[in-house]
Amino acid sequence: MSYRMFRSSVTVSILALAVAFLVHMLSYGLLEQAARNVAYRELQEQRAFGELLTRMTTADTQESIVHNLASGARAHRNEYQAWSGESPAAVEGAGRIAAKLEQAADYLDHLPAATRAALMADLTPRQLFDRLKDPINWRAFSVRLRELSLRSPLGDLRQFKRLLFDQLPVLMEFTDSVQKGHQRAIAQIAQQYPGLAAQQVAAHPPPDFLPTLRGTGFTVENVQLDGLRAYAERTQDIAAVNRLILMQETRARIARESQINLESVGLDEVMQYVDGKKRAKWLSEVLMGAGAPKHFTSARVLDLATTYVHEHKLEDAVGEGDFKIEGGWLGMSARTWWLIALSFLVCVVGVANALLMSVTERFTEIATMKCLGAMDVFVMILFVFEAMIQGVIGGGVGLVLGFILAVLRGLADLWTLITGATGALGEVGIGMAVSLTIGVGLAALAAVGPSFIAARLPPMEAMRVD
Amino acid sequence: MVTAATNEAQADKAVIIRTLGLEKSYGMGEAITYALRGVDATIYRSEFIAVMGPSGSGKSTFFNMIGALDSSTKGKILIDEVDVAQLSAVELAFLRCQKIGYIFQSYNLIRYMTAIENVTVPMTFAGVAPEEARRRGMALLDLVGLKDRWSHRPIEMSGGQQQRVAIARSMCNNPKILLADEPTGNLDLKTGQDILNILQRINKELGVTIVCATHDHRLLNVCDRIMWIRDGGVERVENRANIKITLASIEGRA
Is B89 in Cβ contact with A368 (below 8 Å)? no
- CB < 8 Å to B105, chain A: 463, 465
> Does B94 reach chain A within 8 Å, measured CB to CB?
yes
| Tens digits of residue pLDDT in A296-351 | 888 888 888 888 888 888 877 776 555 555 545 555 677 888 888 898 899 999 99
Name the minimum distance, in Å, from the CA of B80 to any CA of chain A. 17
Contacts of A452 in chain B (CB under 8 A): none
CA distance A189 to A198: 9
- Long-range contacts formed by B190-193: CB under 8 A, 24+ apart: B191/B158, B191/B159, B191/B160, B191/B163, B192/B160, B192/B216, B192/B218, B193/B218
Tell if the CB–CB gap between A372 and B97 is shorter than 8 Å.
yes
Q: What CA–CA distances, in Å, run from B62 to A131, A161, B143?
A: 98, 94, 30
- Using the Cβ of B87 and the Cβ atoms of chain A, whether some distance falls under 8 Å is answered with no
CB spacing of A368 vs B63 below 8 angstroms = no
**Is residue A415 predicted with pLDDT exceeding 70?**
no
Contact flag A463-B104 (C-beta cutoff 8 Å)? yes
Q: How far is CA B148 from CA A223, B117, B140, B141, B202, in A?
A: 88, 14, 12, 8, 20
Residues of chain B found within 8 Å of residue A1, distances taken between Cβ atoms: 111-112
On chain A, the residues whose CB falls within 8 A of the CB of B64 are 460, 463
How close does chain A come to B182, measured CA to CA in Å? 10
B76 phi and psi, to 5 degrees? -125, 150
A171-221 tens-digit pLDDT: 888 888 888 888 888 888 888 887 777 777 778 888 788 888 888 888 877
**Chain A environment of B187 (Cβ under 8 Å):** none
Pairing status of strand B15-26 against strand B74-79: antiparallel
Nearest C-alpha of chain A: how many angstroms from B112? 9
Cβ contacts of residue B4 below 8 Å, gap of 6+? none
pLDDT band at B1 (very low <50, low <70, confident <90, very high): very low
pLDDT score of B245: 46
Percent residues over pLDDT 90 in chain A: 13
Q: Does A306 touch chain B (CB under 8 A)?
A: no
Chains A & B: contacts with CB separation below 8 Å: 67
pLDDT at position B12 is 62
**CA-to-CA dists, residue A205 to A195, A201, A216, A232, B81, angstroms:** 14, 5, 16, 10, 109
**Distance in Å, alpha carbon of B122 to nearest chain A alpha carbon:** 5
In this structure, the number of other CB atoms found within 10 A of the CB of residue A114 comes to 9
Question: How are beta strands B15-26 and B225-230 bridged, if at all?
Answer: unpaired
Task: Give the CA angle between residues B225, B230, B232 to the nearest 5°.
Answer: 110
A433 touching B (Cβ < 8 Å): no
Which of B125, B170, B171, B173 is best to mutate for the A interface (most A CBs within 10 A)? B125
pLDDT exceeds cutoff 70 at B228: yes
Measured CA to CA, the distance from residue B219 to residue A237 in angstroms comes to 109
**CA of B66: which chain A residue's CA is closest?**
A460
In terms of Cα–Cα distance, which of A250, A216, A169, A163 is closest to A52? A216
Report chain A residues whose CB lies below 8 A from the CB of B125.
372-375, 378
Taken in order A453, A459, A463, B1, the sign of the CA dihedral is negative
What's the average model confidence in pLDDT over A4-22?
89
Amino acid at A243: R
pLDDT digits (tens, 9 = 90+) for A212-265: 888 888 887 777 778 888 888 888 888 888 888 888 888 888 888 887 888 878
Name the residue among B64, B137, B203 with its Cα closest to residue A370.
B64
Interface test with B, best of A2, A364, A463 (most B CBs within 10 A): A463
Tell me the average pLDDT of chain A.
Answer: 84
First to last CA, chain B: 19
Per DSSP, the three-state class of A151 is: coil
* Residue A378 touches chain B, beta carbons under 8 Å: yes
**Could you give the percent of chain B with pLDDT greater than 90?**
58
The complex's ipTM works out to 0.86
Q: Which chain A residues have a beta carbon less than 8 Å from that of B90?
A: 375
Whether residue B98 lies within 8 A of chain A, CB to CB, comes out as yes
Contact yes or no for B122 and A372 at CB 8 A: yes
Q: How confident is the model at residue B249 (pLDDT cuts 50, 70, 90)?
A: very low
| From A373, A460, A462, residue closest to B93, measured CB to CB | A373
Would you call B121 and A372 a contact, using CB atoms and an 8 Å cutoff? yes
- Chain A positions touching B165 (Cβ under 8 A) are none
**CB–CB contact A460 B125 (8 Å):** no
